[in-house]
Amino acid sequence: MLSNISSAWPELIQALLETLYMLVLTIPIAVAIGTPLGTVLFLTRPNSFLKWPRFYVILNGFVNLIRSFPFLILMIAIIPFTRMVVGTALGTTAATVPMIINAVPYFARFIEQILLDVNRGVVEAAESMGANKFQIVWKVLYTEARSGIANAITIVTVSFLSYSTVAGLVGGGGIGDFAIRYGYYRYQTDVMFVTIVIMVLFVQAFQFAGNYVVRKLDKRL
Amino acid sequence: MITLHNISKTFATAEGPLHAVSSASLEVEQGDIYGLIGFSGAGKSTLLRTINLLERPDEGSVIVDGEEFTGLPLRELRKRRLSIGMIFQHFNLLNNRNVYDNVSFPLEIAKVPKAQRRQRIESCLEMVGLSDKAKAFPAKLSGGQKQRVAIARALAGNPKILLCDEPTSSVDPQTTGSILAALQEINRNLGITIVIVTHEMNVVKAICNKVAVMEQGKIVEKFDLREKNIAPQSPIAKYLFKNEITLVREMEASYA
Ligand SMILES: Nc1ncnc2c1ncn2[C@@H]1O[C@H](COP(=O)(O)OP(=O)(O)O)[C@@H](O)[C@H]1O
Ligand SMILES: [Mg+2]
């Protein structure tokens, strides 16, 4: 049994690194694009700061459209696009393209909701001091929402650890690919077990780190 | 200092148009502590908020320091708002900024250089007696302390006017006294004109020199409280003034 594990070990490490690579590419890009996108969604909502109702309808519909694709189907559907961007539809980098496309609107929705939860009274106080919209977003909304944003990053990271395994199905490598090869084709339950333990530890570590940051940022209580 | 002329504001609600303020006129002079009193829903907050155009009236004019506000472009209006402080029932402090940085906020909005902010912030905190709490976060403060931080924040921009929307309505009676004392001090020492919305005659009696009584969007009566004989005519004004007398009698009874 131990021999199974030790012979699979180098590949397991490799698979973990690939998964990590996918996350390191996906999450920062999702945050960098999803934050402004979610902010625009928030600002253009009905009864919000910017009266651009048609713009909101279009943007909102577009976000919903992408969000409504099941991840596996999205991945297959955009293969031509992935080829165009990365040059190939195979491999770990190619797998991150659908992950990013899925993560951006997902994260944007989080941001929209978090900003909605910011106390309107504080925004009003800032307006009474002559703050413009940019200052309200930057100095009020993001300041008050920062722990919520950190929490959203944690949730998205854990979710995409899971999505990244689907990438394994279409040659993306990573921990999902590893699990299919060892757990499914070779039926090595012991290797599968070790993999699961490692994943659980990963998720726990992300969550723990995330919660720690959230607590540090949140001064509301 | 502030002239509100024939202000009307109607909100569209699910049940149809709601006339929150109807043809209200008010004249606030330099140095006044002007009370706006009435029951909940009378339109006091809406009227107060037209002064800095947080609420834009459908009709009427808002003249502050000789300048008509309603015609100003938003950019200009924002500059004027810097010289009108405002405090709220629920304080509305930034929870993720400490006391010092909350007071710093309006100065940052006004793009005051950092070096000049420090002294201003410190003197504002000193004015409200919270110099020792500079590093504390709002969540760690009592209601009265939070409101005093809000006052310090409102003072940071050197305002000529301070608008107060039920500033004592979510603190206990003892704390009410300390907040009102701070407001009175600001009025006396800095010459800041104050407009204060409240539903408590006690608050009006404690610090106001003038009061307007509102009911269903209308100003029904105004009083100069420095006059000897105050003879309310409208039922609501009679009630509000009488209510106060009853309270006093009850207090005397409890001491007897
Ligand atoms: N933004 C708004 N939309 C719809 N109705 C409002 C709005 N603001 C205030 N109102 C209504 O206008 C009336 C007056 O409100 P307000 O000025 O807050 O009264 P007060 O401060 O005297 O309690 C109330 O009936 C209130 O529900
Ligand atoms: Mg009110």
In this prediction, residue B243 carries a pLDDT of: 64
Ligand nearest to the CA of B21: 1
Helix ranges (DSSP H) in chain B: 44-51, 74-81, 99-109, 114-127, 143-156, 173-190, 201-207, 235-255
> Which of A50, A128, A220 should we substitute to test contact with B (largest number of B Cβ atoms within 10 Å)?
A128
In this prediction, residue B244 carries a pLDDT of: 54
- Could you tell me if A195 and B73 are in contact, meaning their C-beta atoms sit under 8 angstroms apart? no
In this prediction, residue A1 carries a pLDDT of: 60
The residue of chain B nearest to residue A134, with distances taken between CA atoms, is: B109
The residue of chain B nearest to residue A127, with distances taken between CA atoms, is: B54
Ligand nearest to the CA of B49: 1
Residues of chain B contacting residue A148, judged by C-beta atoms under 8 Å apart: none
Q: What is the dihedral of CA A109, A113, A118, A120, to 10 degrees?
A: 110
Residue B62, SS3?
A: strand
CATH number for the domain whose boundaries are A2-217: 1.10.3720.10
Cross-chain Cβ contact B92/A144 below 8 Å: no
Q: Element (H or E) spanning B17, and its range?
A: strand B16-28
Is residue B178 a part of any domain in this protein?
Answer: no
ipTM of predicted complex: 0.88
Residues 87-106, chain B, touching A (beta carbon < 8 A): 88, 90, 92-98, 105-106
**Minimum CA distance residue for ligand 1 atom 11:** B20
Residues B105 and B226 in one domain: no
Residues B3 and B53 in one domain: yes
Is residue B185 a part of any domain in this protein?
Answer: no
Give the count of domains, chain B: 2
B18 touches chain A (CB under 8 A): no
Residues B9 and B34 in one domain: yes
Task: Extract the residue ranges of chain B whose pLDDT is less than 50.
Answer: 255-256
In this prediction, residue B121 carries a pLDDT of: 96
Residues B244 and B232 in one domain: yes
Q: Which domain holds residue B220?
A: 1-82+161-167+193-256
Among B232, B220, B244, residue whose Cα is nearest residue B44: B220
Give dist(CA B108, CA A130) in Å, integer: 11
Instruction: Provide the CATH number for the domain around residue B39.
Output: 3.40.50.300
Cross-chain Cβ contact B92/A220 below 8 Å: no
A54 touches chain B (CB under 8 A): no
User: From first to last of its 221 residues, what are the pLDDT tens digits of chain A?
Assistant: 678 888 888 888 999 999 999 999 999 999 999 999 999 999 999 988 888 999 999 999 999 999 999 988 998 899 999 999 988 888 899 999 999 999 999 999 999 999 999 999 999 999 999 999 999 999 999 999 999 999 999 999 999 998 888 887 777 888 888 888 888 888 888 888 888 898 899 999 999 999 999 999 998 87
**Global confidence as pTM:** 0.88
Is residue B180 a part of any domain in this protein?
Answer: no
In this prediction, residue B179 carries a pLDDT of: 92
Residues B20 and B54 in one domain: yes
The CA distance from B15 to the nearest CA of chain A, in Å, is 18
Residue at which a domain ends, from B114, B135, B158: B158
The CA distance from B81 to the nearest CA of chain A, in Å, is 5
